[in-house]
Structures are given as C-alpha cells and as structure tokens.
C-alpha cells in the first residue's frame, strides 16, 4: 500500500466519521435536504425576489414566478450552511402552488416540522428562510401596486 492509498483511506475514514456524527445532530430529512436540495438557482425575470442576510452572516435569495396569484415556480440560493440549505429547499417546495396569501402564513415552525427539527444552534436558519420569503412577498406587493398605478395612469391618459 502506497502513501497515496493511505491518504485516500484516511480521507474515507474521516468522511465516514463526519457522516456518523451528523446523524447524531440532524434528522435524516434534514441531511437529505442539505445534501440533495431542490429548487436551487435563479429564475430569470422573476416576478418576485427577496434577499436577506441573517445575523450569522448567511445570505438567502428567493425567486418566484407568480401566475394568477399562485406561485408556479420558486428557487433559492444561499451561501449558508447545510441547515440553511435544507430550509431553503423545504421552503421552496412548500411554496409551489400556494397563493401569495397562503405563502405569507408560512412560519419557521412549519419548516422545522418538515425537517423534523434542527439543533438549537441552527434554529435561526428557518427564520432566515421565512424572512427572505417575506422580503420576496413585499417585493411582489410593491411590483403589483406599481403595475396597478401604471395601469390607472394609462386609463386616465386615454
């Protein structure tokens, strides 16, 4: 066995130990969402966009496509940890097909429920996800009111 093989064996041993330790702190669902997140990316020409940086320094962005008042598609990006990634993945799945009013009712506890919980030091992650959602919803409201105001101006000018 050469030095190279010993190094690779040691890396594999360390990775296995990390995976074992993760299972002590995180649920299977949280690990699945962190390692295989859904809806990662941007939506070009999104109808709604929100970006928030949390107190821990993690930033999350949410992009939504809204058709007839319903969220048809949504994606997220984050520079955060695995727990933040898991929260963004779960949130975007929860949002699809909901009205904007239904989306506004989502709470951090709803995300935690789907994940089966998070360690105490990561309870700020679903809060960041919901704050980002709220920023995106506020962006939707502003865009809609600007469109309505523009339409009213157009009607007066006819």
Q: In which residue are the tokens 């360390």 written?
A: 14
Q: Which residues are catalytic?
A: 56, 125
């Amino acid at each position: 066995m050469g030095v190279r093989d010993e190094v690779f064996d040691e890396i594999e041993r360390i990775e296995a130990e990390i995976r074992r330790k993760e299972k002590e702190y995180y649920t299977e669902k949280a690990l699945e969402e962190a390692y295989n997140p859904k809806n990662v990316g941007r939506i070009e020409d999104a109808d709604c966009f929100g970006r928030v940086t949390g107190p821990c320094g993690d930033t999350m962005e949410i992009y939504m496509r809204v058709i007839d008042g319903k969220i048809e598609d949504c994606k997220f990006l984050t520079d955060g940890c695995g727990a933040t990634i898991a929260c963004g993945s779960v949130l975007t799945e929860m949002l699809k097909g909901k009205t904007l009013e239904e989306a506004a009712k989502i709470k951090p506890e709803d995300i935690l429920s789907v994940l089966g919980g998070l360690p105490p030091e990561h309870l700020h992650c679903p809060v960041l996800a919901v704050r980002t959602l709220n920023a995106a919803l506020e962006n939707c409201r502003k865009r809609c009111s600007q469109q309505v105001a523009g339409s009213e101006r157009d009607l007066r000018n006819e």
